Structure 1
Amino acid sequence: MLVEHECDFVDALGRDLHKPRFETVVSELILVKNEALHAINNLKKWMEPQPVERNLTTTLDECLVVCEPLGVVLIVGAWCSPVQLCLVPLVGAIAAGNCVILNPSECSSHTSELLHHLIPSYLDNECYHVTLAGVNDLAEIVDLKFDHVFFTGNREDGGRVAQAAARTLTPVTLVLGGGKNPCYVDQQCDIPTTARRITWARFHNAGQSMVAPDYVLCHAEAKAQLLQALRCCLLQFYGSDPQESRSFGRIVNLENVHLTTDLLRRSGKVAVGGQVNEADKYIAPTVLCDVIDSDPIMQQEVFGPVLPILTVNSIDEAISFISRREKPLCVYAYSSNSKVISRLMTETSSGSFCSNDSVLQSLMVVLPFGGVGASGMGSYHGRYSFDTFSHRKSCLLRNSCIECVTYLRYPPYEERNLSLMTWASSYCCSSFSKFH
């Protein structure tokens, strides 16, 4: 489907987000293809029953963990990456053997309509079905009772989905933009490389990403250099007028244009960019300096091309700042000092962590990706998607020929039998500990 309709996906994402073809192919289509190929190549291994260690009680038995499908699952995608955020979880759900109802976001309407049109031609429509319900209808849909709900989106909608799922004891995976993703820039780092990687990550897809750096905590000694390097990168990437660049996208709708514009105008000081054209749903790549914690742009997630820069005087101050806020989906750290990287990784809590780059940790099939706390629960990608959509069933295949030992558990209860069972239990535990 992705190969035969690449041009259709490029066109649909171009209409929804003015997304450049390069970004569509690399960050949407190739990513899904890699997930599917990885699952195909590894599925036999994932599906094999996993034996567990035996003890004295189960010496002649077989102990296994067997993966089985959960049943019928609901996958709700987000508009910011409408292909990969729908189809990557779908790969895992199919691999695990489930039936799926897929609900793309109404905001990216052209891409959602395309998925609705194409999927029945490639997948059995009795097992895999696409609905086009709006966000306000999700709670009612979840009430229909699924075996698992996988939701990607904002914290408010995710909370409503989780509440609806709780009424029927339905397990959920939530990938949320609940906490703003911090990016620490140390005074000991390669400033030109750092600026390039942050610029790409923040302004890719016109800043509409759940995994992009939301703000930079820059060491005071590196601030001037970083600002200058960011200016140079924006000029190099998008030219003197980014609105004319074929490499820069647009905001998904006017509501987000108004929200983002309001936040940037009431926060900090514009160092680069700041231009807005509502008719074109265009906001220029913007860097804000002199931002403080209480500014409006620091109070909520921003889906737009705005990068606030805050100044800190030490790694301790950066860690303290991050730890005071809700746990984010991602934490990024740029430093050539391994001790600084280690401290950021171990002394902050987040769904994922990446040093000296951004976003890439969220795209790798061999790493689990998901949130923690305000940024969600559960994870996916590769084997972790298969596990998310599977029930790991414990199986004990017993032998009936050792009743001479197991009879001790039966009534009438006697002290001698209890003593023997207590001894056997302690012996099993000590043997197990020595073994490990």
Structure 2
Amino acid sequence: MASEDEETTVAAVPQIVKDLQRTVRSGITRTAEWRMQQLRAILKLVQENEERIIQVIAQDIGKPAHEAFLTEIFVATASCKLAIKELKKWMAPQKVPITLIAFPGTAEVIPEPLGVALIISPWNFPFLLAIDPVIGALAAGCAVVLKPSEITPTVSSLLAELIPQYLDTDAIQVVEGGVPVVTALLEQKWDKIFYTGCPRVGRIVMAAAAKHLTPVTLELGGKCPLYIDNSVDLKVSAMRICQGKWGVNVGQACISPDYLLVEEDIVSKLVETIKATIVQFFGEDPSTSADLGRIVNEFHFQRLKGLLDDPRTAERIVYGGQCDKKSLSIAPTLVLDVPLDTPIMSEEIFGPILPIITVKGVEKAMDVILEFPKPLALYIFTTRKAVEEQLLTGISAGGVGINETISHFGVPGLPFGGVGESGMGAYHGKHSFDAFSHKKGVLHKGMGGDLPAKFPPYTDAKKSLIRCLVTGDFLGVLLVLLRIRK
């Protein structure tokens, strides 16, 4: 049931959208000057409010300050600086070659704003995953409604407070609220919807968009596999695995390694190496570590605890498993060779639990991976080029990290996005600009120079000439022209 505040917001939604549509029609958002002003304003917002942003992130989800700086503040700042640096290049028309049939003329592709965009952001990176798509939308010249996650209300409130202080409120609006507000927003006609979250809600968003034929970018999740063979340095691998699994939002990340597939001759040694690395990173009692976050809320805590309490999983815990409801903390946990039909292997974990599955070679690992929907990320730990190529060509995934986890997210030149159930569309760097742009093809011609053969009536000679032109038979063109002259 909607609260009184939500009812007020729901009632205001249609007018908010109309006002933004009016702004887009005015043409102001198309100018490079306006776009640059907004991007610089976002950079100023982040730089002047860094401490407050880090504080509210910690308040909502318990993310350590250093981690919040690296994974939210730094990435958002870098994204904004790149857009400021490259904006004019991104906006510039791109010349393309023409065919003989269009001669004489020139052709180009002009990127234009899609219009008014709805951005629905998640709770696990509550600042970054709100601001980063907004950067792309404003760079592209769109007006925006940002709907932050209600699961992180303090971050949402701060965004609603700061964005009007720095950005053009005629073109950027923050709308807060829960399900009733999202429902009202999805009922409107948008020019673009950008959603980051789970596949279940992604389907709802896509169904709503389909009513208006609205293009969507869906950044979803899934079970991200990590294959590791006996050719790698296990100590280095364990450090990178532990950083990717527990060092970023305590596993509450869509590209966190969800399960390991390990060759049987190294599984025991890898388990022991990961155990030692966890102690090295977080101490003998990880619940006291200042570098380890907590579960976002009691609902997700109970969900994760339920996965561990499943009898077939509980008997397979080889490390960790401790749960503290009061502090919403779950220790880094290793589960060895849990059956594939248990709940922990049938859904995305999104937490600090790491199943390890023993396999006999890369072919068996691929068989397991292919049992699940296409993942958002695939991680390959090997020094064998043949194995790397086998997995790269045999497994479809949104992105791939080879001998590394998570870090591909921070490379702006790489498109970040899913495939199949893990999402559609991509962003980051210029890909963010493209996500909110329409590529308009334009052919320019003057008033002269037309080839008479283009126009009726079509004689046999004209038909022959046109056929030779469109097929690139230049010798045939010459022969036809000589025949016509005779």
Give the structure 2 partner of residue 290 of structure 1.
337
Worse-matched range after superposition: 52-61 or 317-326: 52-61
CA contact (8 A) 1:323 1:349 kept: no
Worse-matched range after superposition: 411-420 or 311-320: 411-420
Alpha-carbon distance in structure 1 between the residues aligned to 2:404 and 2:65: 23
SS of equivalent to 1:319: helix
Among residues 354, 379, 391, which one is paired with 2:438 in the alignment? 391
- 5+ residue gaps in structure 2? 1-44, 477-486
Give the structure 1 partner of residue 157 of structure 2.
113
- 5+ residue gaps in structure 1? 432-436
Give the structure 1 partner of residue 3 of structure 2.
none
Give the structure 1 partner of residue 97 of structure 2.
53
SS of equivalent to 2:433: helix
Alpha-carbon distance in structure 2 between the residues aligned to 1:284 and 1:155: 27
How far off its partner does 1:54 sit? Answer: 2.5
SS of equivalent to 2:356: strand
Structure 1 residues 364 and 135: alpha-carbon distance in aligned structure 2, compared to 1, 3 A threshold: farther
Give the structure 2 partner of residue 201 of structure 1.
244
The one-letter amino acid paired with 2:74 is I
SS of equivalent to 1:324: coil
The one-letter amino acid paired with 2:106 is E
CA contact (8 A) 2:97 2:106 kept: no
Alpha-carbon distance in structure 2 between the residues aligned to 1:413 and 1:141: 55
Give the structure 2 partner of residue 185 of structure 1.
228
Alpha-carbon distance in structure 1 between the residues aligned to 2:268 and 2:107: 62
Q: Percent identity?
A: 37
CA contact (8 A) 1:143 1:168 kept: no
Number of residue equivalences:
428
CA contact (8 A) 1:186 1:334 kept: yes
The root-mean-square deviation of aligned C-alpha atoms, in Å, is: 1.6
Query: What's the CA shift string for 1:115-166, capped at 9, x where partnerless?
Result: 1111111101111111113245424312211100000000000100000000
CA contact (8 A) 1:139 1:161 kept: no
Asked if 1:347 corresponds to 2:394, the answer is yes
SS of equivalent to 2:132: helix
SS of equivalent to 1:129: strand
How far off its partner does 1:275 sit? Answer: 0.7
Alpha-carbon distance in structure 2 between the residues aligned to 1:137 and 1:210: 24
Give the structure 1 partner of residue 86 of structure 2.
42
How far off its partner does 1:324 sit? Answer: 2.3
How far off its partner does 1:59 sit? Answer: 3.5
SS of equivalent to 2:338: coil
Alpha-carbon distance in structure 2 between the residues aligned to 1:66 and 1:58: 18
CA contact (8 A) 2:258 2:350 kept: no
SS of equivalent to 1:279: coil
The one-letter amino acid paired with 2:227 is Y
Alpha-carbon distance in structure 2 between the residues aligned to 1:238 and 1:426: 67
Q: TM-score, normalised by structure 2?
A: 0.85
1:127-142 equivalences in 2 (<5 Å): 127-135=171-179, 137-142=181-186
SS of equivalent to 2:357: strand
Alpha-carbon distance in structure 2 between the residues aligned to 1:309 and 1:358: 16
Alpha-carbon distance in structure 1 between the residues aligned to 2:357 and 2:77: 38
Larger radius of gyration: 2
Asked if 1:420 corresponds to 2:465, the answer is yes
Alpha-carbon distance in structure 2 between the residues aligned to 1:219 and 1:430: 62
How far off its partner does 1:10 sit? Answer: 1.2
Q: TM-score, normalised by structure 1?
A: 0.95
